[in-house]
């Protein structure tokens, strides 16, 4: 019998997280806020997923690959 894993408590879940502060241009903030509201998600979730998606792409952020 496979035992279901216990969901971590907020304290356990946050133990591996690092808090950071960012500034966004107001139009971008409003766009992210609208996405979060549309999908019934938090701003933190939407921003975290966007960062994860970008990090996992094989594209340099500031220095594009030379052909």
User: pTM for the complete prediction?
Assistant: 0.63
What total number of domains does the chain contain? 1
In a domain, 31, yes or no: yes
Read off the DSSP letter of residue 16.
T
Asked if the model's pLDDT at residue 13 lies above 60, the reply is yes
Between CA 24 and CA 20 the distance in angstroms is 13
Q: Which domain holds residue 33?
A: 23-58
Q: Is residue 5 part of a domain?
A: no
For 53-62, write each residue's pLDDT tens digit: 888 876 666 6
Cα gap 59→67, rounded to integer Å: 13
């Amino acid at each position: 019998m496979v035992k279901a894993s216990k969901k971590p408590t907020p304290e356990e879940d946050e133990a591996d997280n690092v808090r950071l502060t960012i500034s966004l241009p107001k139009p971008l903030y409003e766009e992210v806020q609208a996405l979060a509201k549309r999908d019934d998600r938090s701003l933190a979730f939407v921003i975290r997923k966007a960062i994860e998606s970008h990090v996992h792409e094989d594209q340099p952020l500031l220095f594009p690959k030379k052909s």
